[in-house]
Amino acid sequence: MSSDRDLVVLGAGMHPWGKWGRNFVEYGLVAAREALADADVAWRDIEFVAGADTIRNGYPGFVSGSTFSQALGWTGAQISSSYAACASGAQALQSARAQLLAGFGEVAMVIGADTTPKGFFAPVGGERKEDPDWQRFHLLGATNPSFFALNARRRIDVFGDTTDDFAMVKVKNSQAGAANPYARFRKEFSLEDFASSPIVSDPLRLLDVCATSDGAAALIICTPEYARRKLGSLEGTVRIKAVANTTPTYPQIRLELPDIATDSQAVVGPPASGFKDSIARNAYEQAGLGPEDLSCAEVYDLSTALELDWYENLGLCAEGEGAKLVRDGTTALGGRVPVNPSGGLSSFGEAIPAQAIAQICELTWQLQGRRPGHQVEGATVGLAINQGLFGHGSCTIVAT
Amino acid sequence: MTTRERVPAVEGWFTTSEPYTLIGGKCPTCGTYVFPPRSGACPNPGCDATELEPTPLSRRGRIWSYTENHYAPPPPFVAPDPFEPYALAAVELEEEGLVILGQVAKGIMAADLRIGMAVEVDLQVLCTDADGQETWIWTWAPVADEEEGA
């Protein structure tokens, strides 16, 4: 089923993830050229450039739409630049989508790239006492893995998960990532590897937590009319069925990055569904699809335990039953609904503005049957979900 | 020996003399609580209040979850050298319906904690500058549980 509002993913491109130490623009150019070639569209024909921003690369990073436009050669295209932490790529996609659906153009590029330092992500520099991100580091030393660990500990205590369940997520994702030429880590890990992996934030070990990486991803999206003219028909094309960028509903009662405290439940009771559940629900409603329709999903496995949360938030199982799905192979390649067939962030590492776009690249190629070694056979519907700091939930659904 | 003033690491979030308490905000219109204290708007989307009144929060709560960090966080955290692992706890205050994160009192580690454990606000030195001036931070410290022991 298609609707006039379903844009087409005409092309996708990436720069391999890793620690290359070069300028982020270089990575973006590689991804952009690969996406243009995949779409068979000339750079001059792109009418709108939606950049996903990085805060780590100075002004060029803050204005990535223009940075990549200049690097590829000014063409007079319309632009936007979006920052939403980990959801930046999804915000950029939404910006391009809105532009095209409003009729202000037919074909757009969505692009993001990053260069990251080694180790923990740190807040923007300077003594910025009013910034919750600065506060949590200075006052508490509450790194990102600290928050992942609070969540993981809660799963152990409330749901009976074990650290082996968490490790199995990494084992599964590393098997998929080993076959992915864009992935940074191509090694298959075993449960035994965890024993020698040092604790970062108890109960999570180094192998439970995703690394920081350099990387880039780009998409060429267009209206159905443009695709029909170019391809002769829409047969077999990958369509964007939903892009939901969702905020929490008050009160937000889960402790979420970067906040030191939750909202109060003293006066207004908790919402009918939690924030992470609502991100997926909004996308399902837009697409007219449900969890039973998914062929595969790309989720933010910033920690192994967090991937189990997403199973529940996507409606693949009831709350507390996520570990069963990794134990019984449901979410592995060959299972009923493979999760992170790309290898996930555990195989890629975080390249913040690129990763939500990279999720869509992976799903596009999966739906086109172009992932030898980690292909989800017969994939027709894919979902990508993530959560950017400060309340940016994002979910995209694509389908053939 | 003179006693230095206890300089709070952040102004207005907690008291530096006993009884140590966290200071939140309370909406004068709808009664909702916030932490950290703030001004400008009540976060309840159904409330139009523009100011929140500073209010002491419950000194005691129960651990919602906890962790123990084994690597030094990056600045602006001031990590001791050599680095010592420390625990963090997210603590639920029943009356205010808030969960608040804090460091756990020095020397108390993850193995000593469990979800549901009773804790109360205490104070400890966060860091000491080159002049020897100490800045202080709130902590969560385990206390005897009145509901247990029966």
pLDDT tens digits along B118-144: 999 999 999 988 888 899 999 999 998
Positive or negative: CA dihedral A389, A161, A207, A186: negative
- As a whole-number percent, the residues of chain B with pLDDT over 70 amount to 95
* Of the partner residues A134, A201, A268, the one whose CB lies closest to the CB of residue B67: A201
Average pLDDT over every residue of A35-48: 98
User: So what's the pLDDT on residue A117?
Assistant: 85
Q: B149: phi > 0 → left, psi -120 to 50 → alpha, else beta; which? A: left
Positive or negative: CA dihedral A353, A365, A9, A11: positive
User: So what's the pLDDT on residue B131?
Assistant: 87
Q: Could you tell me if A384 and A363 are in contact, meaning their C-beta atoms sit under 8 angstroms apart?
A: yes
CB contact under 8 A, B86 and A141: yes
Query: 0.90 cut: is pTM over it?
Result: yes
Interface test with chain A among B7, B27, B57, B65, by most A beta carbons within 10 Å: B65
Please report the residues numbered 46 through 75 in chain B whose beta carbons come closer than 8 angstroms to any beta carbon of chain A.
46, 64-75
Evaluate if residue A3 carries a pLDDT over 90.
no
Cβ of residue B7 closer than 8 Å to a chain A Cβ:
no
Evaluate if residue B1 carries a pLDDT over 50.
no
User: So what's the pLDDT on residue A120?
Assistant: 85
Q: Is B107 helix (H, G, I), strand (E, B) or coil?
A: coil
pLDDT tens digits along A263-284: 999 999 999 989 999 999 999 9
If you average pLDDT over every residue of chain A, what do you get?
Answer: 96
Evaluate if residue B2 carries a pLDDT over 60.
no
User: So what's the pLDDT on residue B59?
Assistant: 98
Alpha-carbon span A230 to A249, nearest angstrom: 42
Evaluate if residue A121 carries a pLDDT over 90.
no
Alpha-carbon span B67 to A147, nearest angstrom: 8
Among residues A143, A163, A142, A140, which one has the least CA distance to residue A153? A163
Evaluate if residue B150 carries a pLDDT over 80.
no
User: So what's the pLDDT on residue B146?
Assistant: 73
User: So what's the pLDDT on residue A2?
Assistant: 59
- As a whole-number percent, the residues of chain A with pLDDT over 90 amount to 94
Evaluate if residue A100 carries a pLDDT over 90.
yes
Evaluate if residue A1 carries a pLDDT over 70.
no
ipTM of the complex: 0.95
Alpha-carbon span A353 to A338, nearest angstrom: 24
